[in-house]
Structures are given as C-alpha cells and as structure tokens.
Structure 1
Amino acid sequence: MSTLQNKVAVVTGGNSGIGYAAAEEFIARGAKVVITGRNRQAVEAAATELGSGTLGITANQASITDSVQLANELKTTFGQIDVLFVNAGIGSFLPVEQVTEDQFDETMNVNFKGAFFTVQKLLPLIADGGSIILLSSVNAFTGMPGASVYSASKAALNSLGRTLSRELASRNIRVNVVNPGPIKTPILAKAGMDEDNIAAFRKKFAERIPLSRAGESAEVAKLVAFLASSDASFITGAEYNIDGGLTIHELVG
C-alpha cells in the first residue's frame, strides 16, 4: 500500500468527511499529509487524530489571502508538494427564488473561486509529475431541484479540471475530477438540515440508487488516492462518478 511513499499530499477541508478519509488513505499509502480547514480547533484535533506527523493548517478556501499564506507555509516546511486534493466545499439547498445574493456568493467563493485560487497559489509548489484532484459532485450534471447554485459551482469545477489537464500537461501534472453521489458526510448538517430531514433525504436517494445505499467517505478516498498515485500515471482530464449507479440509473430511467 506504499504507492505514495514519502510524497507530500495537501487536503483542503481535511478535518472531516471525505477530506479526512482521504488524509487517512494517503497516510496508509506512505504520504506525508497536510490538512486545512476554517476552524483551527477542528483542524488541530483532526491532525492529532490522524497522527503520523500530519500537519494541520488553518486556512479558509474562500480567502485568497489564506491561500497565499498556505503556500508560503508549505514552501517553508516542505519546499514542494506532490498531491493537491481540493476537497473543501459547502452546500446550500434552496429553491432558486429563495437564494439570496449572500448565499450565492458564499457558495461560489468556497466551491469555485476558492478552489481556483487555491490551485493557482499552490501550483508553483507542485512538483512536475504531481497530481491535482478536484472534488466535484454528480450534481454538476444531474440537475437536482433546490441545488441550483451548488450544482453550478460544481459544474464550474469540472470545467476547470478539463482545462487544467491541458494547461499542465507539459509539466506532467495530472488533473482529474471525482464526482461523488450521495455520501455520508457532514455537508447536509452544515447546510442546516436536521437529523430527521437528513435521514429522509438519504432514504429518498437510497431508493433511487441501484446499490440501494449511500456511499462511505472511505470509498471515495480510495478512488482519490488511486488517482493521486503513480498507478494512475496515464490518467488525466478524467471525471469519475462514484455514486452507486445513481447517474446511469437517472439517465436510463
């Protein structure tokens, strides 16, 4: 499992959910891991739990200033990095007529603008032959009601991934996008849904998923770690759905 031995991997939003699971998987495969997040206490606690010298850095993906500071700290500590997993994201799920400008800006600032400038500011540190993975969502193309802004932010990420894969090919930096379907993460709770509504939401989707269940963060993490590794050395510009068959079921159903 040492396919990332001594590589330096950075995971934005690495203190919970898919980001935390990816950090665990990177460590299991031999990488040195840096996680970021907005909440200092949560980031430091997650880094301690992960162990293996994991470095926790407080950084808000929506802040370009934080991205610059993150780049400076990474340069001082490691010189260069090998893997960037842009995982941090938020969700706001409302009918289009109820979305406020502030809610629109917050979602876009984290999910797309923040992701873009995180890549831009860290790009000089990424070693030639490195890997960038962007966490998108099947919402980028499924058109779920109530997810207009979230879906648009993720569709923008998919477009960015395709463009970056061409722009960075000369440096042999591979860029790929992962599109999860319903995964058990804190995103719905952070969006303001209570436990009953979250359970109902997951039950509704489970009925539409051919595998009849939501996915686990660890399952997404294994795909991310594969794409980060040399095992995926001829894969770039690709988008991977990890959704229990939901997308193809929706297309043919």
Structure 2
Amino acid sequence: MTKNRFSGKHVFIFGGNSGIGLSAAEEFAAEGATLSLTGRSQKTLDEAAEKTGALTLQSDMADPAASVAAIKAAVEKNGPIDILFINAGVGGFAHVGDVTESFWNDVNNVNLKGAFFAAQAALPHLRDGGAIVFTGSIGSVLGIPGNVAYAAAKAGMRAVARIYAAELAARKIRVNVVSPGPTETPLFYRNPGMTEEAIEGMRAHMREAVPLKRIGEPREVARAVLFLASDDASYITGVDLFVDGGTVEL
C-alpha cells in the first residue's frame, strides 16, 4: 500500500470522534493528512484530538446550521477541503407498529437530512478533484425486522450519494459510499429501550448471520474509506462498497 497518500490534504470528518470515524481519522493522520473532526461529545473530541492532532469542533449533524459553521471554522484554520467523510450517525431499533414520529425524526434528522446538508455545506469549500465518502449500511438493502427508520434513512442517503456523484462529476469530485455490516461500534450501545441482554443477543445473531462468523472492527471499515478517498480509487465513483464479511454477497 502506498503510504502518505494524504500528505498535504485537508480531510474533514463529520463524526470523527468515535467508532469508524475515529479509526478513519487515525488512519488518515498516519498517512499525512491535516484533519478536522466533528462530534457531539467534547470529551471524546478531546481524546480524538490527542490521538490524531486534529482540529476538533463540537457540532451536531442534525442541525444544518451547525454543519455550516463547523465547515467554515475548519476551512478558516486548515484551508479548502480535499476529502469529506460523512460518518456521523445514530441508531435505534423499533418495529413498525412502535415507531413514533419523534423516533423517526431523531434517526432521519442525522442519517439522511443531516448527511445531505453536511455535504451541501462543504460544496463551496471542496477542491475540484476531491472525494466524498458517506457511511451507509447494509441495512439499506436488507429487510431486517425492527430496522425500518435506520434502513429508510440509509437507503435515502445512498440515493443522495448517487445524485451527488452525478452532479459533481463535472468537477471531478468522486462520491462513494462505504456500507458496513455488523461492526463493533458505539451504535451497539445506543439503542433506546434495549437491555444489555438484548444487545448481546443481537450481537450473537449478527455473528451467526455473517459468513465469516464474526463482527467487524472499525479499522477494517476505515481502510475501505481511505481506499475510496485516495487516488487508488481514481476511477471509482457512485459505488456502494459493502464491508460486511460477505453478509449481503454470500
């Protein structure tokens, strides 16, 4: 693998303070990137800054105005953006009969509306020839009971990414999606109403469903993000890359 693929490049990550986003930040930093990260928790942002040397900005992607402000602050400090990674997301399981309007909005305001407007906010500050990567989910193509709000948001985001790819092709900005399968991230622990026993049961079910019989690690997804963000993927745009141990494919 080519090292220092991102030397001299400004990488902006929405949701870079934990899980896949933090792993990606560490990998980008190791390859020479100048980093700007957002997150909602100041504590985890401070920890991410210590690990990566990134500029960190407390911001909630559910609030489009906050995304605009975060982008502006990052560009003032680190210059135009070369790579945008839109990773921030929220989870939550509820069967269709139990979905409330507030639950639906909480999930979609971050995972769909927030993702769209975060990318939009960055457009005037993205260098031509750059790259955007969205974090999707295999849930967007699987009929998983209890996953309706999250799956709908990620399926919508996949459509958003495809349109971004088509519209930004003239600027030679590539837009792709990385869709993780079961991955050991904090989303496991932030499912409202689920007990520890239920979470562990879900984890065991997911392990069994994966052909490789294990749950993925954030770094394994992060490496796919770096590939799509790099010149190694210079002829790839509009794809949805499943990083899922074969769950969808096999």
Superposition TM-score tier, normalisation by shorter sequence: over 0.9
CA contact (8 A) 2:83 2:229 kept: yes
Match of residue 41 from structure 1:
43
Pairwise CA distance, 1:18: 0.4
- What CA distance in whole angstroms lies between the structure 1 residues aligned with 2:126 and 2:71? 10
Aligned residues: 247
Match of residue 12 from structure 2:
10
Select between 209-218 and 197-206 the one with higher mean Cα deviation.
197-206
- What CA distance in whole angstroms lies between the structure 1 residues aligned with 2:209 and 2:42? 38
Question: Is 1:91 aligned to residue 94 of structure 2?
Answer: no
TM-score w.r.t. the length of structure 1 is 0.95
Pairwise CA distance, 1:195: 3.2
Partner residue of 1:28 out of 27, 30, 41: 30
Residue aligned with 1:132, SS: strand
Which residue identity is paired with 2:40?
Answer: R
Match of residue 55 from structure 1:
55
- Runs (4+) of structure 1 exceeding 3 A deviation are 192-195
Which residue identity is paired with 2:230?
Answer: S
Match of residue 78 from structure 1:
78
Pairwise CA distance, 1:203: 1.2
Which residue identity is paired with 1:215?
Answer: G
- What CA distance in whole angstroms lies between the structure 1 residues aligned with 2:56 and 2:78? 14
Pairwise CA distance, 1:133: 0.2
The 5 Å alignment of 1:102-121 reads 102-121=102-121
Report percent identity of matched pairs: 43
- What CA distance in whole angstroms lies between the structure 1 residues aligned with 2:79 and 2:25? 20
Structure 1 portions without partners, runs of 5+ = none
Match of residue 231 from structure 1:
232
Residue aligned with 2:141, SS: helix
Pairwise CA distance, 1:143: 1.2
CA contact (8 A) 2:55 2:74 kept: no
Match of residue 65 from structure 1:
65
Match of residue 206 from structure 1:
207
- What CA distance in whole angstroms lies between the structure 1 residues aligned with 2:175 and 2:133? 6
Which residue identity is paired with 2:203?
Answer: R
- What CA distance in whole angstroms lies between the structure 2 residues aligned with 1:208 and 1:112? 26
Residue aligned with 2:249, SS: helix
Pairwise CA distance, 1:47: 1.3
Pairwise CA distance, 1:41: 2.4
After superposition, the C-alpha distances for 1:46-85 in whole angstroms (9 at most, x for unaligned) are 211x23x311101100001101111220221123011110
